[in-house]
Amino acid sequence: MNQSDVIQWLLSECETVLTQSNRVSLSMPSNHVDVAEPSMEHPYPFVGVQPITTNQMSAGIGNGNLFVDSLNYGSDGILNSITYRREPTLRVEAIPVTDDDPKLCDDLGTELVDHFDLYTRTGGQPVDMDPPQIDDSTPQGRSDDFVDSDGIAMEIAYEHYITDDSPAVATTVNMDIEVGDSVSDLDNVGDNPIAYSETF
């Protein structure tokens, strides 16, 4: 899953809230939801989704951002590819905006919070994404269009996969085997020679 997929899912869910709301009647709810950008023109009511920051997280294996999720071998037993996984956390604001109607703005905000809070109890979000976690604080620094509206801050952890189709692997191995009657016959083979008792 990419960050754009998470944002698109959020936009779709916000559109669902507007479609199901008893407080508004919109002929095209999709026109009332979009990624919030400075100085954008939008109809009222409107829900803007604004990314805040993305944090890279690791499961503790790998280079700090990636860890090995799976190894894929061919029929010959040679490693064909390595799938890595990264677990970023996207922070966003869902910002309901109305045209001089603070009550409607508050009501839509409550409906948005209720809608996303249900995912923490019932699930149903994409399988490679955790349920949105509602944040109590509202980040600052929004564009002027959204200054007078209350945003709903959310954190969403999701999984992003990267596949290396050309891993560096050894396809052949050269091995020297020296045979002797006892360990003393193998003094010149490595630091810790091992003798096996075999009968031929």
Q: Determine how many CB atoms are found less than 10 A away from the CB of residue 55.
A: 11
16 falls within a domain: yes
Q: What is the pLDDT of residues 67-88, one digit of tens each?
A: 888 999 988 888 899 999 888 8
On the question of pLDDT at 33 being above 90, the answer is yes
157 falls within a domain: yes
189 falls within a domain: no
191 falls within a domain: no
pLDDT exceeding 90 applies to what percent of the chain? 41
**What integer best gives the mean pLDDT of the chain?**
81
Q: How far apart are CA 26 and CA 7, in angstroms?
A: 22
Domain range for 33 is: 3-164
Between 39 and 143, the more confident residue is: 39
Average pLDDT of the segment spanning 139-161? 73
69 falls within a domain: yes
Q: How far apart are CA 62 and CA 197, in angstroms?
A: 41
Structural domains of the chain, count = 1
On the question of pLDDT at 186 being above 80, the answer is no
Tokens of 3: 């960050």
Q: Determine how many CB atoms are found less than 10 A away from the CB of residue 62.
A: 14
Three-state secondary structure string covering the chain: CCHHHHHHHHHHHHHHHHHHCCCCCCCCHHHHEEECCCCCCCCCCEEEEEEEEEECCCCCCCCCCCEEEEEEECCCCCEEEEEEEECCEEEEEEEEECCCCHHHHHHHHHHHHHHHHHHHHHCCCCCCECCCEECCCCCCCCCHHHCCCCCEEEEEEECEEEEECCCCCCCCCCCCCCCCCCHHHHCCCCCCCCCCCCCC
Q: What is the pLDDT of residue 174?
A: 77
186 falls within a domain: no
User: pTM score, two decimals?
Assistant: 0.74
173 falls within a domain: no
- Residues 85, 67: contact at Cβ < 8 Å? yes
Q: What is the pLDDT of residue 170?
A: 74
90 falls within a domain: yes
